Structure 1
Amino acid sequence: MGDVLAGFHTVWEFDTDSVLIRFERGIRTPKLLQALGERRIPYEALAGVEKTPGRHGTVVLRAMPRPGADPLADAADGRLRDGCDPYRLVLPAERELLAEYYAERIRAELGPDAGEPAERHLVAAPVPPLSFKGYDGKASFDGRAVSFRWFWSGASSAKWKAGDQRFAVEELTGVHWSSPEAPGGHLRLLRRGTDGPRPGAADQDPAAVVFGRGYGLVHESLPFAAAVLAAVRAKAPVPPSGTVPAARPDPGGIAERIRHLGELHDAGLLTDDEFSAKKAELLAEL
């Protein structure tokens, strides 16, 4: 497309196969958006786009990611305030017709699987190393393992007895993030051999870090959760080929996947051999 649509704090730049969402820096821009900087969203990662009236003489254009396409959206799971939604563009009301025009342009680019969950992440995750301070400990992620170091001032006796923790990505099946802006906010790692979050309170679970006022801030803990989730899915077993007929991907989609693999490789989530093998597989599809 090559067009640019500028709103309050956010700019959408349209390309032939994706939209680049850039977030301005400034005191009025939510810290999460500042931390993200910019995000390239392939059209195949979107389920749709909607235009709705906004507040105080504005109109809102919001893209909707497919489940499973964006690790950040998957980790947030609908718990973000509207102002922190990275898929939301707020425009003056007088630009409503322009907003509808671009909404239709995006809808025209959606693929046949737009209504279905994505089988893999199509949007790049924040790149480790990442860390943040919770109320009861510090969480760190180096791309290979998550580490929790407990604080004497906040950690429960159960966590002190368990000691500082380190969980390799291969041990995990996912991560559950509960916003620090809501009561009981925490980040909990989901480990193999369990069907969901461990029972019991997060402050008693050595696989969880508790948030609190001024701790586990959204702009720090949510990108952390997204990076862990992306690493877990990258290490997940790949289903046998041929089990589900797949449409031949377009070159633009393959190029985006190779770029994402390169980011995972640079972050140390894929070895040289794994990166070369997966890249060769993708090129063979052309």
Structure 2
Amino acid sequence: MGDVLAGFHAAWEFESDSVLIRFERGIRTPKLFAALGERRVPLEAIADVTLTPGKRGTVVLRVVPRPGADPLMEAAADQLKESSDPYRLVMPAERGTLAEYYADELRARLTESGPAERFLVAAPEVPLQFKAYDGKASFDGRSVSFRWFWTGASSAKWKAGDQSFPVSSLSGVEWRSPEMFEGYLRLLRRDAEQHAQPDQDPAAVVFGLGYGPVHESLPFAAAVLAAVRVRSAGPGDAALAAAVPRRDPADIADRIRHLGELHQAGLVTDEEFSVKKAELLAEL
């Protein structure tokens, strides 16, 4: 396909084996989108594509990821607000016919369904860190560290001291959105049962007003979860999870040609054409 479909806060590029989602950076862009930057979603990670009417004269094109295909959505566990869903592309209603065309084209290319056996969408890149209410969380790809704040940490956490958890010691991550009551991030350990409340558990950090925001704590949780899964997988699966497709100059040139056709047809504005063309040329 190789075409580009632009919407509010993002543009989708339809490639032969994936959809490349590029998020805008700006004060009106949801902070999670800006933090993610871009995401490449292989077709094998997609279960379905929907197109529905949106609010205030818009339409919404949405890719439905397969369960278990994306560490970000697995960590989110259906807690994201609709406006922060990275798989939604909101467009003016007048682009509805064009969106329907791409939805049909994309559906025709889907061959997989049901839960994925491994993560197919890349996790956010490390190192990552954020400030929770009771401590600072850091992840370097090999271990997660919690450094407690004297102003927020409980006596139980001070008694336990600062913590460091190798990925090999973890079985998963539990993330409760800071936009809900009593949000937190808890590391699930292989050799321990979690009975303590998050504010008393040295393997957890708690959120609060202005602490552990979604755009910081969720990518963090997703990266840790992906590392845990890769650590548990065999060497072959780990290599596949870490692989990043290289860009082919001929492929980029073809995308520029398709972009020009969309521009000439009036489906992409002058500004969208200039920005996207510059991005593509920068990759040569």
TM bucket (normalised to shorter chain) is 0.7 to 0.9
Where does residue 117 of structure 2 map in the other structure?
A: 119
Give 1:276's aligned residue. none
- Residues 89-120 of structure 1: CA distance to partner in whole angstroms, max 9, x if unpaired? 00111111211111111111111x32x11111
2:200 corresponds to which residue?
204
Helix, strand or coil at the partner of 1:204: coil
- Partners of 1:169 and 1:67 lie apart in 2 by 23
DSSP-derived class of the 1:47 partner: strand
Residues 154-200 of structure 1 deviation map (CA, whole Å, 9 limit, x = unaligned): 001111111111110000011011111111110000111457xx223
- The answer to whether the 8 A contact 2:230-2:241 is kept is no
Q: Does 1:10 align with 2:10?
A: yes
Runs of 4 or more, structure 1, over 4 Å off, are 257-260
The amino acid of 1:178's aligned partner reads R
Aligned ranges 1:1-286 → 2 under 5 Å: 1-111=1-111, 113-114=112-113, 116-193=114-191, 198-238=194-234, 260-262=241-243
Residue-pair matches, total: 244
**For 2:2 and 2:233, how far apart are their aligned partners in 1?**
38
Q: Distance in 2 between matches of 1:40 and 1:77?
A: 20
Unpaired stretches in structure 2, ≥5 consecutive residues:
245-284
Q: Whole-Å Cα distance in 1 between the matches of residues 198 and 18 of structure 2? A: 39
Percent same amino acid among aligned pairs? Answer: 68
Return the TM-score normalized by structure 2: 0.82
Distance 1:237 1:14 in 2: 30
The residue identity in structure 1 corresponding to 2:93 is A
TM-score (structure 1 length as normaliser) = 0.82
Aligned-pair distance for 1:260? 4.2
* Structure 1: runs of 5 or more not aligned: 242-253, 264-286
State the SS of the aligned residue for 1:202: coil
Q: Partner letter of residue 62 of structure 1? A: R
Q: SS in structure 2 opposite 1:80?
A: coil
Contact 2:119 2:241 in 1 (8 A): no
Q: Distance in 2 between matches of 1:117 and 1:47?
A: 9
